[in-house]
Amino acid sequence: MNPFDVESFVATGGLIGLCVLVFVETGLLFGVIFPGDSLLFTAGVFAAQPDPFAPVWLVVPLVALAAIAGDQCGYFIGRRLGRSVVEGRMMQRIGPQYVTRTNAFFDRFGPLTVFFGRFIGIVRTLVPLTAGFSGMPYRAFTFFSVLGSFAWAGGIIVAGYLLGNVPIIRDNIEILIIASVLTVVVPMSVHAARRWRATRRRQGVVAAMDVTPPEDEAPPEER
């Protein structure tokens, strides 16, 4: 099952696969690469078909519970490992700007960040980790996690369920899915390209310093 082939993933993985992916996207750092919003919207579209993979009244609460469980996992990883969890190699690949953005949300909204962050790709993966290592009270975190998870899952899945049979959306769902996936892939690709250019620039500077003759070995005319 390929989570980036959204339609195929939902059709093949079904409700269990959808819940596992939502848990991973929320609870584990490498889950930032998964297109969670696209999967939920597509799940809503499929639930509205004559032969649905699962009834929408079952999809919404189970996906919300998977998101809550992922939040719990991320929170305890952050509390256990501390700030080092967002300063490791994986976080460097994602980009420090997302950590800065998440911290800015915490500074502005406080505990409400757990609710609002659920609706922002990549940030929703970092919020539980940040809440854990920053010492956010567990009860407050869980309260807003539950609210945000049900609002996120319910909102996107029901939107797909209600709009999935609208001709303009049904006929262009592939475009919508690709656009949603690109919102994750493009920023990460840009960051990777910038890191590569910065690395090459540093290597060039080091190489130039290595070939520069010491002062006492300068050419005679410069002495």
pLDDT digits (tens, 9 = 90+) for 27-57: 887 666 676 787 888 888 888 877 888 899 9
Q: Residue 177's pLDDT band (boundaries 50, 70, 90)?
A: low
Measuring CA to CA, how many Å separate 104 from each of 2, 89, 119, 147, 185? 33, 22, 16, 21, 23
Q: Is the pLDDT of residue 63 over 90?
A: yes
Q: What is the mean pLDDT of the chain?
A: 76
Helices H / strands E in the chain, number of each = 10, 0
pLDDT, one tens digit per residue, over 81-126 is 876 666 655 555 656 666 777 777 787 887 888 998 888 877 888 8
Nearest 10 degrees: Cα torsion 49, 55, 61, 66: -70
Q: Which residue has the higher pLDDT, 145 or 169?
A: 145
Measuring CA to CA, how many Å separate 186 from each of 40, 67, 182, 191? 20, 24, 5, 9
pTM of the predicted protein model: 0.70
